[in-house]
């Protein structure tokens, strides 16, 4: 089946030109340009084009004198922002914005500002030209380079810091999707020569994209700091310019990270650490977000790969530098495999959206829907609305009906529940007279179904992966439309419509619960668009398939459900916190309460094994597992690292001390240890510490000691303290289920 999604102007832009890999804004005195970079095979060419930035305004009079140099166009429709103003330069646009702020008393970010500024010239160009990046390109058509660095840390410190003269880069591992790889060896090169060789390789290989794991927050800042120290020009841009950095913020679910966003002229930067965070928002399955943990989760780690604990890299480099080189080589190959798994969805989104590929990987989903809407209205030369009034409304229904261990568990997920209801009930923004919102949603759903069908009939693994990535790209966008309706800053928001959609979703889920109960199934948990339940007793094989079919057939037209493979068992702990045992024996743990990263490693290991025993029906073995762990802990047989916590200093220790003195924050063990140390710690350093002593009740910041100070000849870890923590965790996990769980149901506020 041929998919025509790339030929839909509203969905992928009006200009079908292919091969555009980057756009760079070049300001001019009287006329701005954009430089477009095009890839065809191994060749990259550049072209320069005029660029006229735009503003949407409600009243021409508000532009004052700035209107004299602008091209003004009256837009169709009744939207308040009914004029489009074009300027020859970005500088002229900024002068107009300054005038508008003075005339209206509103900043561009104010929701009631009677004008609209898109404050990114490259994304303005993409929106107004109808072009998208990477169009017509598959993964191998794009040159992608992976980067990973290894660093040497001075004795006495646990984690490297680019600001310390004693620390340095000892390896830069590089690879690309053409099969090339190389490790630049710090044993053979000075750090300055290492950096110069890195720049040379980037310019030789000329990648369109640099990929790495924690590239924004570690590798690039470290490279920049060391290059500055040695006065090496980090000329990574296609024009030989160094990276430009600005403060930015990345949000994935409830977690927000501040980070230094780097921009490399003519290239994109993609950080798989951020993509792993986004993945974990929906899956809640990662034990950690570091490269090793994520690679193990996805089965990407080679059996014979080299591992070196982070705090042993310096010593290993001194004793056996080639072992560090092998470790770096394995890291960068693992990064390439992870990027190949996580990035295709975003590359296809870049072919749809008037955004840079780098932005697609870090921007929120509401911004992506907004970009589609604005481009469609620009193409139609239609006036724009103001954002509608915000308001609270009841969201999706969530409920826990059973706790404890349940067997023969099924999971039914309503396929794109809210989008299906929006299309079925024609629930879109009242401020969208062109009907673009529902049209886009309908086309995205159609193309997703086509992609899923193509995946089933794909003749090769590559074709199957392509279809899967396309289907996921469409799914992510589809599932963003409901959230966009209830997003206050959204230009086309509609809280009343969002409330009606959520109400319809709650009604449907309750109808599904009623059907399950009427047919002898037992609901366990309901969460917005899916239900876990135990199948009726005795059903398996053909009978179970018939039950599933009858359940699906009971739903209204246009509503479809998907079933996971049956689970052997489920441990329902509390809302959104549960563990599943698959038919192949894989353990899946979801929810912070069952895998809290704030616990010491020995507690996480203990909890994971206890949950597995419970799910495997070996409840009788749990007391023995507790006693074994308790005995190992009491006898000092557990590795000291399993008792330690590791924290990163987000502030300079002296800044922490000033805040503490002013009563602005409580005492923290890591910072207190940093202040008391005989060496200077900086913001960004990591400290690992354990609790010493003999009594179970301690003041942690007073009794903590640096992990590096632990002496195996005179161990002083506080076993009584850790035994008490183990007992508390054991009691928590073996306590009788809350009898009120049957009545625990809530409507999430939006």
pLDDT in tens, 10-22: 899 999 999 999 9
Distance CA(355)–CA(348), nearest Å, equals 12
What mean pLDDT comes out for the span 632-637? 96
Q: How many CB atoms lie within 10 A of CB 524?
A: 23
Question: Which tens digit of pLDDT belongs to each residue from 586-612?
Answer: 898 888 788 776 789 999 999 999 999
- Closest C-alpha among 347, 350, 558 to residue 445: 558
pLDDT of residue 736: 67
What homologous superfamily is domain 391-428+494-592 in, according to CATH? Answer: B family DNA polymerase, palm domain (3.90.1600.10)
Question: Which tens digit of pLDDT belongs to each residue from 435-486?
Answer: 999 999 999 999 998 898 898 888 888 888 889 999 899 999 999 999 999 9
Cα angle 46, 49, 50 (rounded to 5 degrees) comes to 160
Rounded to the nearest integer, the mean pLDDT of the chain is 92
What are the phi and psi torsion angles at 11 (to 5°)? -95, -35
| SS3 (DSSP) at 45 | strand
In the structure encoding, which two tokens stand for residue 748, read together? Answer: 């999430």
Q: Is the pLDDT of residue 392 over 90?
A: no
Please indicate whether the domains covering 139-349 and 391-428+494-592 agree at the CATH topology level. no
pLDDT of residue 594: 84
Question: Which tens digit of pLDDT belongs to each residue from 354-391?
Answer: 999 999 999 999 999 999 999 999 999 999 999 999 98
Cα angle 428, 434, 438 (rounded to 5 degrees) comes to 35
Q: How many CB atoms lie within 10 A of CB 558?
A: 11
Looking at per-residue pLDDT, the higher value among 631 and 251 belongs to: 631
- What are the E-state strand segments in 253-291? 255-263, 268-271
Q: At what angle do helices 653-661 and 669-676 cross, to 10 degrees?
A: 110
In the structure encoding, which two tokens stand for residue 90, read together? Answer: 């970005």
Q: Which residue has the tokens 């380079």?
A: 145
- Quick one: pLDDT band at residue 682, thresholds 50, 70, 90? confident
Distance CA(497)–CA(669), nearest Å, equals 49
pLDDT of residue 597: 67
What mean pLDDT comes out for the span 552-556? 94
Q: 3-state DSSP: the chain helix, strand, coil percent, rounded to 5? A: 45, 20, 35
Q: Which residue has the tokens 């419509």?
A: 497
Which region, left, alpha or beta, applies to residue 81 given φ > 0 means left and ψ of -120 to 50 means alpha? beta
pLDDT of residue 740: 37
Distance CA(80)–CA(66), nearest Å, equals 20
pLDDT of residue 684: 65
Distance CA(15)–CA(293), nearest Å, equals 42
What are the phi and psi torsion angles at 269 (to 5°)? -115, 125
For 172-209, letters b (16+ CB in 10 Å) and e give: bbbbbbeeeeebbbbeebebeebbbbbbebbeeebbbb
Q: Is the pLDDT of residue 287 over 80?
A: no
Distance CA(472)–CA(485), nearest Å, equals 21
Q: Which residue has the tokens 């960004």?
A: 684
Q: Is the pLDDT of residue 28 over 50?
A: yes
DSSP for residue 585: S
- Closest C-alpha among 355, 217, 225, 351 to residue 274: 217
Q: Which residue has the tokens 């619960």?
A: 513
Distance CA(347)–CA(357), nearest Å, equals 7
CA distances from 500 to 189, 413, 442, 482, 504 (A): 65, 21, 19, 11, 6
pLDDT of residue 717: 97
Q: Give the right CATH number for 596-734 from 3.40.50.2020, 3.30.70.100, 1.10.132.60, 1.10.10.10.
A: 1.10.132.60
Using H for helix, E for strand and C for coil, what is the string for 293-320?
HHHHHCCCCCCCCCCCCHHHHHHHHHHC
Q: Is the pLDDT of residue 748 over 80?
A: no
What mean pLDDT comes out for the span 507-519? 96
| SS3 (DSSP) at 405 | strand
Bridge partners, 271 (sequence order):
212
Evaluate whether 54 touches 88 at the Cβ level (below 8 Å): no
Sheet of 54-57, strands arranged across: 71-74, 83-86, 54-57, 115-116
Distance CA(379)–CA(362), nearest Å, equals 26
Distance CA(436)–CA(380), nearest Å, equals 10
Question: Which tens digit of pLDDT belongs to each residue from 313-349?
Answer: 999 999 999 999 999 999 999 999 999 999 999 999 9
- Quick one: pLDDT band at residue 749, thresholds 50, 70, 90? very low
Q: Which region among 61-70, 480-489, 659-668 has the lowest average model confidence (pLDDT)?
A: 659-668
Which region, left, alpha or beta, applies to residue 232 given φ > 0 means left and ψ of -120 to 50 means alpha? beta
pLDDT of residue 311: 80
- What are the E-state strand segments in 265-363? 268-271
Distance CA(199)–CA(78), nearest Å, equals 54
Q: How many CB atoms lie within 10 A of CB 77?
A: 15
Q: Which region among 78-87, 160-169, 695-704 has the lowest average model confidence (pLDDT)?
A: 160-169
Q: Which residue has the tokens 């829907």?
A: 369
pLDDT of residue 557: 87
What are the phi and psi torsion angles at 79 (to 5°)? -65, 145
What dotted CATH number matches 139-349? 3.30.420.10
- Closest C-alpha among 636, 643, 570, 578 to residue 606: 643
Within 13 Å, how many C-alpha atoms sit on residue 230's CB side?
Answer: 19
Evaluate whether 381 touches 475 at the Cβ level (below 8 Å): no
pLDDT of residue 4: 65
For the chain, the domains span 139-349, 391-428+494-592, 596-734
Distance CA(211)–CA(215), nearest Å, equals 7
- Terminal Cα-to-Cα distance of the chain (whole angstroms): 40
pLDDT of residue 747: 34
pLDDT of residue 739: 40
Burial class (CB in 10 A: 0-12, 13-18, 19+), 39: buried
In the structure encoding, which two tokens stand for residue 593, read together? Answer: 């309460």
DSSP for residue 174: E
H or E, element range at 522: strand 522-527
In the structure encoding, which two tokens stand for residue 409, read together? Answer: 């568990």
Evaluate whether 82 touches 75 at the Cβ level (below 8 Å): yes
Question: Which tens digit of pLDDT belongs to each residue from 145-160?
Answer: 999 999 999 887 877 8
pLDDT of residue 8: 86
pLDDT of residue 396: 83
């Amino acid at each position: 089946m041929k998919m025509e999604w790339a030929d839909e102007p509203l969905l992928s832009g009006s200009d079908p030109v292919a091969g555009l890999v980057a756009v760079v804004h070049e300001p001019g005195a009287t006329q701005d340009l954009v430089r477009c970079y095009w890839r065809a095979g191994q060749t990259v060419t550049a072209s320069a084009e005029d660029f006229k930035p735009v503003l949407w305004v409600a009243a021409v009079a508000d532009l004052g004198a700035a209107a004299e140099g602008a091209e003004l166009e009256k837009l169709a429709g009744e939207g308040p922002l009914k004029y489009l103003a074009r300027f020859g330069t970005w500088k002229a646009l900024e002068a107009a914005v300054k005038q508008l702020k003075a005339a209206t008393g509103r900043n561009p970010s104010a929701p009631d500002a009677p004008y609209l500024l898109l404050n990114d010239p490259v994304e303005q160009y993409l929106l107004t030209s109808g072009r998208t990046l990477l169009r017509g390109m598959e993964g191998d058509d794009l040159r992608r380079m992976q980067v990973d660095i290894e660093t040497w840390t001075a004795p006495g410190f646990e984690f490297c810091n680019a600001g310390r003269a004693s620390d340095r880069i000892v390896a830069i591992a590089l690879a690309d999707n053409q099969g090339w790889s190389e490790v630049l060896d710090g044993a053979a090169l000075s750090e300055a020569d290492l950096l110069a060789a890195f720049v040379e390789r980037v310019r030789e290989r000329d990648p369109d994209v640099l990929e790495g794991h924690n590239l924004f927050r570690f590798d690039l800042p470290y490279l920049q700091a060391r290059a500055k120290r040695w006065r090496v020009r980090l000329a990574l841009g296609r024009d030989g310019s160094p990276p430009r950095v600005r403060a930015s913020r990345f949000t994935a679910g409830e977690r927000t990270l501040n980070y230094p966003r780097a921009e490399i002229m003519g290239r994109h930067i993609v950080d798989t650490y951020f993509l792993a965070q986004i993945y974990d928002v929906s899956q809640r399955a990662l034990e950690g977000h570091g490269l090793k943990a994520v690679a193990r989760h996805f089965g990407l780690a080679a059996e014979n790969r080299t591992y070196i604990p982070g705090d042993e890299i310096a010593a290993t480099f001194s004793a056996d530098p080639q072992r560090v080189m092998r470790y770096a080589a394995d890291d960068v190959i693992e990064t390439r495999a992870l990027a190949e798994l996580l990035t295709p969805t975003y590359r296809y989104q870049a072919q749809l959206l008037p955004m840079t590929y780098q932005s697609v990987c870090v921007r929120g989903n509401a911004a992506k829907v907004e970009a589609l809407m604005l481009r469609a209205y620009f193409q139609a030369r239609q006036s724009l609305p103001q954002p509608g009034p915000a308001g609270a409304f009841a969201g999706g229904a969530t409920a826990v009906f059973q706790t404890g261990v349940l067997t023969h568990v099924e999971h039914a997920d309503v396929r794109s529940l809210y989008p299906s209801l929006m299309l079925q009930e024609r629930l879109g923004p009242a401020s969208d007279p062109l009907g673009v919102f529902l049209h886009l949603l309908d086309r995205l759903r159609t193309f997703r179904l086509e992609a899923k069908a193509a995946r089933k009939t794909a003749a090769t693994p590559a074709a199957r992966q392509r279809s899967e990535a396309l289907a996921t790209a469409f799914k992510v966008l589809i599932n963003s439309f409901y959230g966009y309706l209830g997003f206050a800053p959204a230009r086309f928001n509609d809280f009343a419509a969002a409330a009606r959609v959520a109400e319809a979703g709650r009604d449907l889920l309750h109808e599904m619960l009623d059907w399950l109960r009427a047919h002898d199934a037992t609901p366990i948990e309901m969460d917005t668009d899916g239900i876990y339940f135990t199948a009726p007793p005795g059903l398996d094989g053909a009978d179970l398939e018939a039950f599933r079919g009858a359940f699906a057939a009971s739903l209204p037209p246009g509503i479809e459900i998907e079933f996971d493979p049956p689970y052997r068992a489920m441990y329902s702990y509390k809302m959104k916190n549960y563990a599943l045992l698959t038919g192949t024996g894989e353990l899946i743990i979801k929810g912070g309460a069952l895998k809290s990263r704030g616990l010491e490693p020995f507690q996480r290991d203990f909890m994971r094994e206890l949950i597995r025993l419970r799910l495997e029906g070996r409840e009788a073995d749990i007391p023995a597992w507790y006693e074994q762990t308790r005995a190992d802990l009491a006898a000092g047989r557990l590795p000291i690292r399993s008792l330690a916590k590791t924290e990163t200093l987000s502030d300079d220790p002296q800044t922490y001390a000033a805040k503490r003195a002013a009563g602005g924050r409580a005492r923290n063990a890591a910072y207190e240890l940093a202040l008391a140390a005989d060496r200077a710690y900086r913001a960004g350093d990591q400290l690992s510490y354990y609790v010493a002593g003999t009594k179970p009740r301690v003041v942690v910041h007073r009794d903590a000691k640096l992990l590096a100070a632990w002496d195996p000849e005179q161990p002083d870890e506080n076993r009584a303290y850790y035994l008490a923590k183990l007992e508390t965790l054991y009691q928590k996990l073996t306590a009788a289920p809350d009898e009120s769980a049957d009545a625990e149901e809530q409507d999430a506020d939006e």
